Structures are given as C-alpha cells and as structure tokens.
C-alpha cells in the first residue's frame, strides 16, 4: 500500500532547485564592512584635520598677567558722586539763570529761563516757513 503523502504531490507545482549561493552575499557583506571602516577612518582624519585647522586660525590665549595696557575697560565708578552731582547742577543752574554765548559767530545767546518765558509770552512762538517745516529745518 502506498503512503498518504505520496498522493499529495502536484505535478504542476515546482520548487526552486537551486538555492542562493552564499559566496557572493558574503563577499558583498565583507566589502560593505571594509567600505564602512574606510569611510569612518577618513571621517575621523578629516575632523581631526579640521579641528587643528580651526585651532590654528584662533589667536593665542592671553597670558594671565595684568599690565597697564591690558587693564579691563569696564565702567569707571565715581568715588564721590554727591559732589560731582552738585557741581553738575551748579553748572546747569548757572546756564539757566545767567547770560552767555551759545554761538558768537551766529549771534546766538542764552538768557535766564524766566526772561525767556516772559519774552515768549509777550511775543509768541516764532513762525517758520512751511517749506522749512516740511524739510525739518524749522529749528
């Protein structure tokens, strides 16, 4: 008697007789691994070369010593701000309450503030030409 699996064969269905050969696949994988290692080594060499190139462009670091020309140029603090402010206000008060030249060549003077306000109230604001106002020269 015949076995039941003998009857399961289909003459129209065929399987591949030849399997894939491992030699070309292994050669490709070895070549791929070698290429990856070579590219990685080239990139490491490139980055090291670029690091040394960029470092050569940088100025050398300063030495850790303080010289007169290497002093910090930060803000200079006032030692006595109250007398400085008092002197500044005295100069401003003298200019606001006294007479003096602003530009002697053009005949411009400054007068006390109270006199200037009184003259402005008496005479009114000076009129300027519309062309001068449009050009920004109405000062």
Tens-digit pLDDT profile for residues 58-89: 887 766 666 666 666 777 788 888 999 999 99
pTM for this model (two decimals): 0.34
The DSSP 8-state label assigned to residue 59 in this structure reads P
Please enumerate in sequence order all residues whose Cβ is within 8 A of that of 97, keeping only pairs 6 or more positions apart, or say none. Answer: 112, 113
**CA separation for the pair 96, 116 (Å, rounded):** 10
**CA separation for the pair 13, 59 (Å, rounded):** 78
Q: Is the pLDDT of residue 17 over 80?
A: no
27 CB burial (10 A radius; 0-12, 13-18, 19+): exposed
| CA dist list (Å): 116 to 95, 98, 110, 122 | 13, 11, 9, 10
Tens-digit pLDDT profile for residues 116-130: 889 889 988 888 777
Residue spans per domain, the chain: 20-59, 95-139
Cα of first residue to Cα of last residue in the chain, in angstroms, is: 127
What radius of gyration, in Å, describes the C-alpha atoms of the chain?
A: 47
Question: Cβ(100)–Cβ(110) under 8 Å?
Answer: yes
- The arithmetic mean of pLDDT across residues 40-65, rounded, is 88
């Amino acid at each position: 008697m015949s076995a039941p699996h003998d009857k399961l064969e289909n003459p129209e269905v065929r399987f591949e007789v030849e399997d894939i050969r491992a030699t070309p696949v292994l050669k490709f994988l070895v070549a791929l691994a070698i290429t990856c290692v070579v590219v990685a080594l080239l990139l490491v060499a490139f980055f090291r070369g670029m690091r040394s190139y960029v470092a050569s462009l940088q100025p050398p670091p300063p030495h850790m010593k303080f010289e007169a020309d290497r002093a910090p140029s930060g803000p200079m603090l006032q030692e006595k701000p109250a007398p400085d402010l008092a002197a500044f206000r005295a100069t401003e008060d003298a200019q606001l309450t006294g007479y003096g030249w602003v530009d002697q060549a053009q005949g411009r003077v400054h007068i006390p503030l109270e006199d200037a306000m009184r003259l402005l109230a008496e005479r009114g604001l000076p009129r300027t030409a519309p062309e001068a106002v449009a050009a920004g020269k109405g000062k």
